[in-house]
Amino acid sequence: MPLWYGGDYNPEQWPEEVWAEDVALMRRAGVTLVTVGVFAWSLLEPSEGRHTFGWLDRVLDLLADGGIRVDLAVPTASPPPWFSLAHPDALTVTRDGVRLTHGSRDTYCVSAPAYRAASLRITRALGERYRDHPALAMWHVHNEYGTPCHCDHAAAAFRTWLRERYGGLDALNDAWTTAFWGQHYSDWAQITPPRATQYLPNPAQALDFRRFVSDEMLAHFREQRDLLRELTPEVPVTTNYVLAGWASIDHWKWSREVDLVAVDHYPSGRGTAAAEQTAFAADLARSWADGRPWLLMEQATGYVTGPRMTAKEPGEIARHSLQHVARGAKGVMFFQWRASLGGAEQWHPGMVPHTGPDSRVFREVCALGEALKRIPPDEPADEPLVEAEVAILWDEEAWWAVQAPGLPSAELDCLAAVEQAHRVLWRQGVTTCFAHPSHDLSAYRAVLVPSLYLISDEAARDLGTYVRGGGTLVVSFFSGIADEHTRIRPGGYPGALREILGVRVEEFRPLADAVTLTDFGVATAWSEVVHLDGAEAVARYPGGGPAVTRRRLGEGMAWYVSTRLGDSGYAGVLARAGLAGSGAPGVEIVRRRDRVFALNHTQDEQPVPVHGTDLISGEPVTGVLNPGQCVVVRAT
């Protein structure tokens, strides 16, 4: 199947006469798939149980006539105002106890019975209405699940979830260390979500609540999905994940439940930083999809995060999109088709900007549509879409735990450490993927463990087996410290990984000022008093204590980095561990099965080891890329 191309289409924001022009412009741009109706619940069900599908019928018919398929949204992310007024108990309550009101979006409690019932009602109504519509290609359930609620419904559901997890209160009290600060629970009814507290909350309770929020939303997604599967067994059901710093769901778990992994990605960096973040997002998506194709559900034609919404530079819209395709996307979609004239996101760029189709952005959108058409579909094959020799461990639970207050340094940042590991290898042209600590890692040449605070006994044992079997393991500080209940492993850090690494860390010494190591340059934020216990020191702190160590274990090597290095220092460690790549910074070369994507993110001409005929332009590729140029050739 050719690559999908399109975006969120919100025709309800426009008079009907615009719709025909929309379809004509979509055809001009090569659009093949649009997500319709993500926030249209109030227009589809203007009062309880009364449905007004006429407008959506006309939109879908128009799109079908134009040969454009629809990723039809189930609009349950934003209940209508009548619903919120009738069921105030279904409105989100923040941890401070503030009940939010409608007027924005995503204001619901997934545990509220009225919300669940109304959500399933609109899901069924849409499923029954459009099950046979020729435009229907996919179901887009909800939008970016993730709004936590702290109300009494959530509290009741949390208690049910905890009973299943722990069986009895003794186990819960033990897991949460409730003996501290006299929090011992003697009745389930005493347990609440982690609402506003006088001082620090209980970290195990906070982490369990995040797990619960993800599971509770997943339970509701499953209900919606199963209903749709019953009505349309052939139509895939997906939902779009939000990336970056706001992940409220456990994407590894969710990815086993969706028919297609779909992600939204909005880089916060600009230029090369945006390219680095794009590769990171795409590798995460492919990893969640277990190496299979996934969908870029949303991106923007401009930069939308940060203090300024700036245009993407000429060529960047296509280059970012091709990064996603190179790394396994089966389609490239945008938020949104036409930039809105009013409403909260009226300044958000669209594929058709406020200026209209006579614009640079729309011309680039059309050129991208043309380019995507020329990239042939994947041949069916057993091998993975993209080969990666290096895996980076990524576990959202461990990340959530490091977001708690009360840790030994407010500068600990699990996501930043993971991003650095990916970025440093990306810059050297080493293709990486992500893995959960419970995954089988034996196929990877190296595994990086950047600040994985929580780790289970089994995962730690498996890492040891991995190293003994010949793997290279590079662990960074603040890993292996705690068990899955955030309880610290005694006897010296890094707890569960101490033996594998051959070190015993006696004390943490967070740094106020940078220090310079004997090798690998400047270290910031964090340092440790490390004792060698089978490992050798590779770099030392100014006082002489080991800072970077390595230990031969069985056939493999286990490295430990006990401080925060800069990118070049971390790259130096990886190089010593045998992980240096041969790529040039800003030049991205990725092989997707039999196609090689070569993308020049720099402003200079760049030599590349790529020859052949560019499938996009039909021009020969002779080992050089022009500034900003992207080519796709058949692998030889």
User: What residues act catalytically?
Assistant: 144, 298
Q: Which is nearer to ligand GAL, 268 or 355 (CB)?
A: 268
Closest CA to 139 of 230, 218, 52, 49: 230
Query: C-alpha 286: how far from its chain's center?
Result: 10
To the nearest whole angstrom, how small is the minimum distance from the Cβ of residue 306 to ligand GAL?
12
* C-beta separation of 454 from 412 below 8 A: no
Tell the smallest beta-carbon distance from residue 266 to ligand GAL (Å).
5
Q: Nearest approach, Cβ of 317 to ligand GAL (angstroms)?
A: 15
| R_g over Cα of the chain | 26
Distances (CA, A) of 7 to 26, 91, 546: 10, 29, 52
Q: What 3-state class would DSSP assign to 120?
A: helix
Strand ranges for 281-364 from DSSP E: 294-298, 302-303, 310-311, 329-334
Residue nearest to ligand GAL (CB): 335
CA distance 53 to 330: 30
Closest to ligand GAL by CB, 343 vs 609, is 343
Q: Which tokens sit at 210?
A: 């995040």
Binding site for ligand GAL (CB under 6 A): 143-144, 242, 264, 266, 298, 300, 304, 335, 345, 348
Nearer to ligand GAL, 300 or 325 (CB): 300
Alpha-helical (H) ranges within 184-315 are: 203-231, 251-255, 272-288
Q: How far is CA 509 from the centre of its chain?
A: 32
3-state secondary structure of 601: coil
Q: Which is nearer to ligand GAL, 297 or 404 (CB)?
A: 297
* 335 burial via Cβ count (<10 Å: 0-12, 13-18, 19+): buried
CB of 264 to ligand GAL, least distance (A): 5
Q: Which is nearer to ligand GAL, 296 or 417 (CB)?
A: 296
CB of 242 to ligand GAL, least distance (A): 5
C-alpha distance from residue 476 to each of 219, 236, 486, 561, 618 (Å): 35, 40, 18, 5, 46
Partners of 622 in the β-ladder: 611
CA distances from 130 to 110, 121, 136, 230, 379 (A): 25, 14, 7, 13, 31
Shortest gap between Cβ of 276 and ligand GAL (angstroms)? 19
Closer to ligand GAL by CB, 72 or 421: give it: 72
Residue 167 one-letter amino acid: G
